[in-house]
C-alpha cells in the first residue's frame, strides 16, 4: 500500500529515534571496551614499578659460574647460577642523574592520572547512569579520557627515554662500563602506555563529539515530509531584511494617503478663509 504524505513525518521521526538508539548502543559498548583496555594498561604500568628487570646483563665466569646483573629505577640486583641473589637500594636520592628522576616522576604521574581517569569514566559512562544529563556525562567522560591520554603519553615518554638510553649505551663503542640490555619491565611499560593512549584517544573523540558539538537549537527547524531544513545565519538575516522591506512597502500607501488627506484639509481651510474675506 502507498502511504500518504501525512504518514511520512511520523516514519521519519521513528527512523530518527531508532538510529539514535542504535548509535547510543554502539557508543555504550565502545566505552565498555575502552574502559577494559585502559584499566589493563593502567595495571601493566603499575606492575612495572616492583619489577626488578628493567635492565639486565649476563657475565660468564670461570667453570660454571654465571652472574646476572639487573636493575630498575629503585635498586640494583645481582644473582648467580646457584640461585643466590642480592639487591641493594640506591643509597642517595640526590646522587642520581636527572633522567632517573624524570622517569620516576612521569610514571607516578601516569599512574595517578589513570586512576582518576577510571573514576571519572565510571561516573560518566552511559551504562552506569550515575551522573546527570547526557551532556554532563559526556563532559565527565571526556575529562576521564583526557586523563587516560595524558597519563599514557607520560608513561610512553618515560619508558621510551629509558629504553633509548640503554640502547645508546649498548651501541656506543666508547662506553667502557658494563653494558645492559632492555628488560621485561620496559616492554610491559610500552604495552601498558600504548593501551592507555589508545583507550584515552577513543574516549576523547566519542565523548568530545557529544559534549562539545555545535547546537542549532537557537534557530527554528522547518520540517518538510522527508526533509529537514535548518536555516543558517545568512538565510535568517536575508529573511529579516526582506520582511523589513515588505513592511516598508506595505506601509507606504497609507502614508501617502494620510499626506494627501492633510493637503486637502489645508486647501479647504484656505478656500474658506478667502471666501469669507471676499464676502466682507
- pLDDT band at residue 93 under the 50/70/90 scheme: confident
Provide the residue ranges of all domains of the chain, joining segments of one domain with +.
Answer: 12-51+97-175+185-217
Q: Considering the chain, what percentage of its residues have pLDDT values greater than 70?
A: 66
Count Cα atoms within 13 angstroms, Cβ side, for 166.
22
Output the pLDDT for position 261: 54
pLDDT, residue 65, reads 64
CA angle, residues 192, 151, 71, in degrees to nearest 5: 55
Please state, in angstroms and rounded to a whole number, the distance separating the CA atoms of residues 52 and 184.
9
Of 224 and 102, more confident: 102
Which architecture, in CATH terms, is 12-51+97-175+185-217? Up-down Bundle (1.20)
State how far the Cα of 81 lies from the Cα of 65, in Å rounded to an integer: 6
Q: Which residue has the higher pLDDT, 244 or 119?
A: 119
Model confidence at 246: pLDDT above 90: no
Residue 160 pLDDT grade (very low, low, confident, very high; cuts 50, 70, 90):
very high
Question: Cα–chain-centroid distance for residue 121?
Answer: 12
- pLDDT tier, 269 (very low <50, low <70, confident <90, very high otherwise): low
Asked whether 124 and 109 are in contact (CB, 8 A), the reply is: no
3-state DSSP assignment of residue 72: coil
Distances (CA, A) of 275 to 182, 197, 266: 122, 101, 15
Longest dimension (CA), the chain: 155
Q: Which residue has the higher pLDDT, 170 or 154?
A: 154
Q: Say what the pTM is.
A: 0.66
Grid cell at residue 11: 516514519
Give residue-wise pLDDT tens across range 161-214.
Answer: 999 998 988 888 887 778 888 989 999 999 999 999 999 999 999 888 887 874
Mean pLDDT computed over every residue of the chain? 75
Give the C-alpha separation, 106 to 110, whole Å. 6
List the one residue out of 96, 118, 216, 104 whose CA is nearest residue 162.
104
Q: Which has the minimum average pLDDT: 4-18, 57-71, 174-188, 207-221?
A: 4-18
- The per-residue pLDDT for 90 is 79
> Are the C-beta atoms of residues 231 and 239 closer than 8 Å to each other?
yes
What's the rounded Cα separation, in Å, for the pair 118 and 23? 23
Amino acid at each position: 500500500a502507498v502511504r500518504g504524505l501525512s504518514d511520512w513525518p511520523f516514519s521519519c521521526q521513528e527512523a530518527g529515534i531508532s538510529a539514535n538508539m542504535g548509535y547510543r548502543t554502539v557508543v555504550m559498548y565502545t566505552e565498555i571496551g575502552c574502559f577494559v583496555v585502559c584499566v589493563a594498561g593502567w595495571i601493566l604500568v603499575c606492575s612495572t614499578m616492583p619489577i626488578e628487570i628493567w635492565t639486565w646483563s649476563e657475565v660468564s665466569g670461570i667453570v660454571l659460574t654465571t652472574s646476572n646483573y639487573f636493575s630498575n629505577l629503585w635498586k640494583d640486583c645481582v644473582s648467580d647460577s646457584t640461585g643466590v641473589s642480592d639487591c641493594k637500594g640506591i643509597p642517595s636520592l640526590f646522587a642520581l642523574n636527572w633522567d632517573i628522576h624524570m622517569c620516576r616522576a612521569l610514571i607516578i604521574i601516569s599512574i595517578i592520572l589513570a586512576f582518576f581517569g577510571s573514576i571519572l569514566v565510571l561516573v560518566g559512562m552511559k551504562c552506569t547512569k550515575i551522573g546527570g544529563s547526557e551532556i554532563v556525562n559526556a563532559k565527565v567522560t571526556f575529562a576521564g579520557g583526557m586523563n587516560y591520554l595524558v597519563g599514557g603519553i607520560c608513561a610512553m615518554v618515560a619508558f621510551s627515554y629509558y629504553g633509548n638510553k640503554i640502547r645508546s649505551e649498548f651501541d656506543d663503542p666508547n662506553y667502557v662500563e658494563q653494558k645492559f640490555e632492555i628488560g621485561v619491565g620496559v616492554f610491559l611499560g610500552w604495552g601498558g602506555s600504548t593501551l592507555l593512549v589508545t583507550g584515552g584517544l577513543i574516549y576523547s573523540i566519542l565523548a568530545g563529539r557529544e559534549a562539545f558539538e555545535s547546537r542549532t537549537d537557537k534557530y527554528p527547524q522547518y520540517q518538510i515530509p522527508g526533509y529537514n531544513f535548518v536555516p543558517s545565519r545568512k538565510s535568517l538575516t536575508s529573511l529579516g531584511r526582506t520582511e523589513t522591506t515588505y513592511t516598508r512597502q506595505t506601509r507606504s500607501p497609507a502614508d501617502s494617503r494620510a499626506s494627501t488627506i492633510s493637503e486637502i484639509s489645508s486647501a479647504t481651510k484656505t478656500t474658506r478663509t478667502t471666501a469669507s474675506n471676499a464676502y466682507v
